[in-house]
Amino acid sequence: MGGEAVSRFWREIPQRYNLIGTKCKVCNRIYFPQREVCPFCRRKSIGKMEEVKLSGRGKVITYTIIHVPPRKFEGQVPYAVAVVELEEGVRVTSQIVDCDLDKIKIGMEVEATFRRIQDDGWTGAIYYGYKFRPVEKHEDKK
Amino acid sequence: MGKVGIVSYGAFIPIHRIKVDDIAKTWGRDGETIKKGLGVYEKSVPSLDEDTATISVEAARYALARARINPKEIGAIYVGSESHPYAVKPTGTIVGEAIGATPSLMVADYEFACKAGTAAIQSCMALIETGMIKYGLAIGADTAQAAPGDALEYTAAAGGAAFIIGKDGVIAEINGTYSFTTDTPDFWRREGRKYPAHGGRFTGSPAYFRHIINATKCLMEKMGTKPEDYDYAVFHQPNGKFPRAVAKMLGFKEEQIKQGLLCPFIGNTYSGSSLLGLAAVLDVAKPGERILLTSYGSGAGSDSFDITVTDAIESFPREKAPTVSQLINRKNYIDYAIYAKYRDILYWE
Amino acid sequence: MREVAIIGVGLTKFGELWDKSFRQLITEAGTKAILDAGIKGSEIDALYVGSMSPGRFVGQEHVGALVADSSGLSVMHIPATRIESACASGGMALRHAYIAVAAGIHDIVIVGGVEKMTDVVGSEATNILAMAADQEWEAFFGVTFPALYAMIARRHMYEYGTTREQLAMVAVKNHENALLNPNAQFHRKITVEDVINSPPVATPLNLLDCSPISDGAAALVLCPLEKAREYTDKIVKIIGSGQATDSLALHGREDICTFMSTVKASREAYKQAGIQPKDVDVAEVHDCFTIAEILAIEDLGFVKKGEGGKAVEEGLTARDGEIPVNPSGGLKAKGHPVGATGVAQVAEIVLQLRGEAGKRQIPDARIGLAHNIGGSGASCTVHILEAV
């Protein structure tokens, strides 16, 4: 029976759906997930952090193929997770999808895509967020 | 500002495909016979982490990438599907949040079997005509379910298309629309059940054909047109045979339906079916060309549209998103075992 | 600030101890430590205990009070504090006990570390361990704890040419060492092929690259150095202690292959002790995964960054090498009951410096180092001990 803290997941929607980070207007560093205070400017940055939407494009810094999953991810095994460095210099961790597992490489260019991340069982809420797929050149068919 | 019409569009098809041959082999049937009978070679399959919401978001984001509008100007979002992730909690709210259109927004989810997406277009048209909204977003998307071993398993596929409707910067004007609706139980799914049921051969002449033919004829009568007046015709595509047959019955030629006939390569994307066909036509259409679109939804009804492409399509940045052809060509074949894994046929507590 | 000595050591066996409960484990370790120290229970001024997640493993929080109670010390109403820092809970409990004694707030303090991991099924244990990672931005997406270290391993192989075999050699060495440790969970020799052919967990790491799920407890008795001789002649003193943090998520690090928490904590400890890394005679480092030991010997300054793999291959860290690492068998072969580990590492160093390590004794060990990490490197404690 679904009963997880939906508010905990709902709160992260702008970040998980749309990669909305924050930028410190004092030093221009960009952070994701959002920060209230810049770790470098600290008190000078209070009230000076503004929202910024990240492009979702980046490259793979490192990755692994998971064979022993945590609960709720059993059906996806084997799957790939990676640390991706986005264009803005920020790093995030998520899955790599729409790609043969043995084709994933360090340095590979990827773009964010909207996917189901997990859910609270058959009766619970569904939590969406970002995963990454390889950037491809599109080819016509027919 | 002229007629209401399509301002932008986007499409999405998941990457995985399974061949009809591989499904047939699993059940001890002959793939060639089935391919010939259905006119379908392979179908699209969503991954475990894809659903109608994720497909709708991708298509909507592509539509926005091509449009030059602020998402906050979208006043309404209607997502039509028969596989909404929730029975209660609209897919449209998830899409709205994911494209930045919230919170000043009207949303409701639509269901009318495979024609829920075109019903969404009609609602957006009315809201714009009355001046209630500036732009509306109509989406038809599905991750269709079929019982293992059932005939529908060969064609039940996944995909969707999103259309931004408005009066400002229209690339294709909607000259008129007509809907033909009756209570016809040809195909249905009861609340709480996983798979649909259908009436076998009853789904043909009294259902698909009756509604598409009537809707199309009445629309052409209303618009004063004949089949030859159209450069393209798109019909709902449950398989590769029905749309060809109904086109012939109505007097349309193979060249007119070819561009929009996608079913042989991706299967029946249900609420995405006729809308993906329309998107494929808009991918190549030129100014002045005229399009006839008739959807079909079991239960039953058809929405017919008469559309004329405007000059604005010349400067429309199609390249900002993949075309339907590119999406069809972006594919990864899987076998029945992986298909079973992705389609939730295997079960975890 | 006073100097602090360790005068008693207690350890349970590590392993799948079905018959022993959380309470029984810590009481056993504590009792052994008290007897070893030659102190009376009534002389204990305070208790510190490290445990990562008794709440999830056995449904019990408030374990400071629980441990005082189980060990019969709550009738004297002593202060008891539970410290949590994921897998560094034990080392951190020692650190804060040390600070209290050094500052003169308490005299005799008992430090315990305990974890009872087998009362839940393995997959649940995996989930609980993943709580050491970033819940919202790593675990939420399906990242597991082994996956984080696997990503470090892959990057380390990419940047420095570390080989799959070199990773495996860490496990082989530690299993070899554990053969001589009666309390170790595993008494089984393994080969590089065994490691590489064991089932994959998160590539490039296989099952035998990963420390096991274990039950166990360890305890130490601390005493101001000036009073230590009243109780015992087997005295070891703490000459350096350091603690540091880094970003919780792996993606927040400046360099994926460097644990700044280890660098900072160890430099603080070396400075306090007035020694260099090369002065260390024996070390117990945090090898939750084989790659973690390679990173540890680099970040602790035993070898240069990138040369950890080569060092293991060349036998630098073997029992007869220049800097023997994990003579106890390490987390890999001795076992890793999470909260107990940090305390057990120091217990091993104490035994080595006392000359009581039996068959696995490192000859002439005078200065020893214990290194304890939390999560994927977000927290670290380092302690340096010297024989007296």
Segment B237-257, tens digit of pLDDT: 999 999 999 999 999 999 999
Q: Is the pLDDT of residue C346 over 80?
A: yes
Q: What is the DSSP letter of C258?
A: -
| Shortest Cα distance, chain A CAs vs residue B258, angstroms | 11
Cα–Cα dist A81/A115, whole Å: 14
This complex has an ipTM of 0.93
Per the domain annotation, does A5 fall within a domain?
no
Query: Active site includes B198?
Result: no
User: Which among B51, B58, B86 has CB closest to A113?
Assistant: B58
Residues A81 and A33 both lie in one domain: no
Q: Is the pLDDT of residue B37 over 80?
A: yes
**Contact A139/B329, CB-based, under 8 Å?**
yes
Q: The domain at B5-171+322-342 falls in which architecture?
A: 3-Layer(aba) Sandwich (3.40)
| Shortest Cα distance, chain B CAs vs residue A117, angstroms | 7
Q: What SS3 state is found at B127?
A: helix
Residues A124 and A61 both lie in one domain: yes
pLDDT digits over B45-79, tens only?
A: 999 999 999 999 999 999 999 998 999 999 999 99
Tell me the count of A-B CB pairs closer than 8 A.
69
Residues A96 and A44 both lie in one domain: no
Pairing mode, strands B290-294 and B232-235: parallel
> Which structural domain, as residue segments, surrounds residue A121?
57-141
Confidence of residue A142 (pLDDT cuts 50, 70, 90): very low
Residues A67 and A46 both lie in one domain: no
Residues A30 and A43 both lie in one domain: yes
Cα–Cα dist A37/A45, whole Å: 6
Spell out which residues of chain B touch residue A100, defining contact as CB-CB under 8 Å.
332
Cα–Cα dist B59/B278, whole Å: 14
Spell out which residues of chain C touch residue A117, defining contact as CB-CB under 8 Å.
140-142
Q: What is the DSSP letter of B297?
A: B
Q: What SS3 state is found at A134?
A: strand
Per the domain annotation, does A93 fall within a domain?
yes
Mean pLDDT of B304-322: 97
Helices (H), chain A: 6-10, 13-18
Token readout for C192 is 């590089």
Residues A87 and A27 both lie in one domain: no
Token readout for C49 is 């205990």
pLDDT digits over B130-163, tens only?
A: 999 999 999 999 999 888 898 999 999 999 999 9
Residues A37 and A66 both lie in one domain: no
Residues A49 and A115 both lie in one domain: no
CA A92 to chain centre: 6
Per the domain annotation, does A1 fall within a domain?
no
User: Which among A33, A65, A117 has CB closest to C141?
Assistant: A117
Counted domains in chain A: 2
Task: Inform me whether the C-beta atom of residue C359 falls under 8 Å from chain A C-beta atoms.
Answer: no
pLDDT digits over C91-146, tens only?
A: 999 999 999 999 999 999 999 999 999 999 988 998 999 999 999 999 999 999 99
Spell out which residues of chain A touch residue B332, defining contact as CB-CB under 8 Å.
98, 100
Residues A46 and A63 both lie in one domain: no
Among residues B223, B227, B200, B199, the alpha carbon closest in space to that of B213 is found at B227
Token readout for C134 is 């970033």
Helices (H), chain B: 20-26, 31-38, 52-66, 91-99, 116-129, 210-223, 242-250, 254-258, 263-266, 273-282, 324-329, 336-342
Among residues C1, C2, C3, the alpha carbon closest in space to that of C384 is found at C3
Residues A68 and A26 both lie in one domain: no
Token readout for B134 is 């500036």
Helix, strand, coil percentages (3-state) for chain B, rounded to 5, are 40, 25, 35
Contact map slice: C 253-312 vs A, CB within 8 A: 256
CATH class of the region B175-312? alpha beta
User: Which among B49, B57, B328 has CB closest to A97?
Assistant: B49
What long-range pairs does B327-331 form, CB within 8 A, spacing at least 24? Answer: B327/B11, B327/B12, B327/B13, B327/B159, B328/A141, B328/A142, B328/B13, B328/B262, B328/B265, B328/B266, B329/A138, B329/A139, B329/A140, B329/A141, B330/A136, B330/A138, B330/A139, B330/B13, B330/B15, B331/B15, B331/B16, B331/B17
Per the domain annotation, does A83 fall within a domain?
yes
For chain B, the structural domain boundaries read: 5-171+322-342, 175-312
| Shortest Cα distance, chain C CAs vs residue A21, angstroms | 13
Token readout for A35 is 């920060």
C-alpha distances out from residue A121 to A1, A3, A125, A126, B344, Å: 7, 9, 8, 9, 13
Residues A95 and A72 both lie in one domain: yes
Task: Inform me whether the C-beta atom of residue B202 falls under 8 Å from chain A C-beta atoms.
Answer: no
Which residues of C belong to the active site?
87, 336
Task: Inform me whether the C-beta atom of residue C170 falls under 8 Å from chain A C-beta atoms.
Answer: no
Confidence of residue B348 (pLDDT cuts 50, 70, 90): low
Per the domain annotation, does A65 fall within a domain?
yes
Per the domain annotation, does A92 fall within a domain?
yes
Question: Searching chain A, which residue's CA lies closest to the CA of residue C158?
Answer: A106
